[in-house]
């Protein structure tokens, strides 16, 4: 169980962009920079802009999209980013997405895409474009509308869940407002590609989901055959504590246990990985001992496919 999306929290650390001038102040000539890029010490994110390789390698895909967008916008500030890049700017998870090319919108004359930048010629209303961290991106509702038509179901659910949660954090009633806006967009686009998929995803989306792993797990459980879902189920713990269990599905309790919370300082909160593991074990033992419902936990490797999660559940005797 995690209270926020694991990948996003770990990847929200801002990447330091280094220009040639920055590197020169460090004592590196242009020839030195070329050698450092060739040796894998620096990563070129855009012509004239670099990131230290160790910092780049530590980033999830969301952080890489944000870094590339910042580098691009520094020279082309009117660029509008969309799809995966806009999602990253909105702090939405890109669950198992591998597309790292920048996604931009061309409003006028069509421009060719490159190996690093995808340019989409689409029509946008003024309300479709907002500023996020100083960069022009498609609005939250437009970004969700675009991605849930494009991504696989589990990734689309992760995006929609996180967007609803973020909208609720922005203001009271924000989640309902966002759902209504995306629904309206889908109703206005009956023949658009992926609309049927998007309707299923949006109807299933729930902003109470705490992480992309939880969202993907819930979708897999639906595919397996479970239908009755309750999220963030309160459970009385010791000494007056209240534990929230990720899911109750058809009278079973289940939790996605993201590995990052045993390694990322943001989750450890000063604890050692060993102590974090012991705390989770004690918590799990308490729930298992007090609950009348079957209780199972799974990790990233168990949601690799629907079948791997099904196999995990069946080992505990849990079936639809």
Cα 296 to Cα 47, 136, 216, 292, distances in angstroms: 49, 43, 16, 13
**Residue 227 contacts residue 250 (beta carbons within 8 Å):** yes
d(CA 155, CA 161): 10
Q: What end-to-end distance do the CA atoms of the chain give, in Å?
A: 22
**pLDDT of residue 120 exceeding 50:** yes
Burial label for 146, CB within 10 Å (0-12, 13-18, 19+), is: buried
- C-alpha span between 234 and 149 (Å, rounded): 33
Angle at 131 between CA 138 and CA 202, to 5 degrees: 35
Residues 6+ apart with CB under 8 A from 303: 213, 216, 217, 220, 256, 309
User: At residue 39, does pLDDT exceed 60?
Assistant: yes
Report the SS3 class of residue 243: strand
pLDDT of residue 47: 92
- Sheet of strand 102-106, all strands in order from the earlier edge strand to the far edge: 117-121, 102-106, 80-81, 135-138, 129-132
- Cα separation, 214 vs 6, whole angstroms: 10
All structural domains of the chain with their residue ranges: 6-204, 225-314
pTM of the model: 0.89
Q: What is the pLDDT of residue 269?
A: 64
Whether 7 has a pLDDT exceeding 50, the answer reads no
Question: How many whole angstroms separate alpha carbon 73 and alpha carbon 104?
Answer: 11
Strand partners, 104: 81, 119
Q: Please say whether the beta carbons of 89 and 132 come within 8 A.
A: yes
Reply yes or no on whether the pLDDT at 161 is more than 90.
yes
Q: What is the CA radius of gyration of the chain?
A: 22
> Is pLDDT at 302 greater than 80 in this prediction?
yes
| Residue 194 DSSP class | T
Q: Taking all residues of the chain, what is their mean pLDDT, rounded to a whole number?
A: 90
Summarised one tens digit per residue, pLDDT across range 178-205 is: 999 999 999 999 989 999 999 999 999 9
């Amino acid at each position: 169980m995690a209270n926020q999306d694991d990948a996003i929290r770990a990847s929200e650390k801002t990447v330091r962009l280094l220009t040639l001038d920055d590197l020169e102040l460090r004592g590196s000539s242009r020839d030195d920079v070329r050698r450092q890029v060739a040796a894998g010490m620096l990563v070129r994110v855009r012509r004239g802009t670099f990131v230290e390789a160790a910092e780049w390698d530590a980033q999830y895909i969301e952080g890489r999209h944000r870094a590339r967008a910042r580098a691009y916008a520094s020279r082309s500030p009117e660029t509008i980013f969309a799809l995966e890049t806009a999602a990253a700017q909105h702090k939405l998870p890109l669950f198992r997405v591998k597309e790292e090319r920048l996604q931009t919108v061309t409003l006028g004359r069509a421009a060719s895409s490159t190996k690093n930048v995808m340019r989409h010629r689409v029509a946008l209303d003024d309300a479709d474009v907002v500023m996020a961290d100083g960069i022009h991106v498609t609005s939250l509702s437009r970004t969700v509308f675009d991605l849930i038509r494009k991504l696989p179901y589990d990734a689309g659910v992760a995006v929609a869940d996180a967007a609803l949660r973020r909208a609720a954090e922005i203001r009271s009633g924000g989640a309902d407002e966002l759902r209504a806006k995306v629904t309206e967009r889908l109703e206005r686009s009956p023949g658009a590609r992926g609309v049927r998929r998007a309707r299923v995803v949006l109807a299933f989306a729930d902003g109470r989901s705490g992480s992309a792993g939880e969202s993907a797990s819930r979708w897999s459980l639906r595919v397996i055959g479970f239908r009755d879902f309750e999220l963030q189920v309160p459970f009385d713990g010791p000494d007056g504590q209240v534990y929230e269990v990720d899911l109750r599905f058809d009278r079973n309790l289940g939790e996605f246990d993201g590995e990052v919370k045993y390694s990322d300082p943001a989750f450890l909160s000063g604890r050692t990985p060993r102590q974090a593991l012991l705390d989770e074990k004690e918590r799990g033992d308490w729930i298992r001992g007090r609950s009348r419902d079957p209780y199972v936990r799974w990790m990233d490797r168990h949601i690799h496919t629907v079948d791997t999660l099904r196999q995990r559940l069946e080992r505990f005797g849990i079936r639809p």
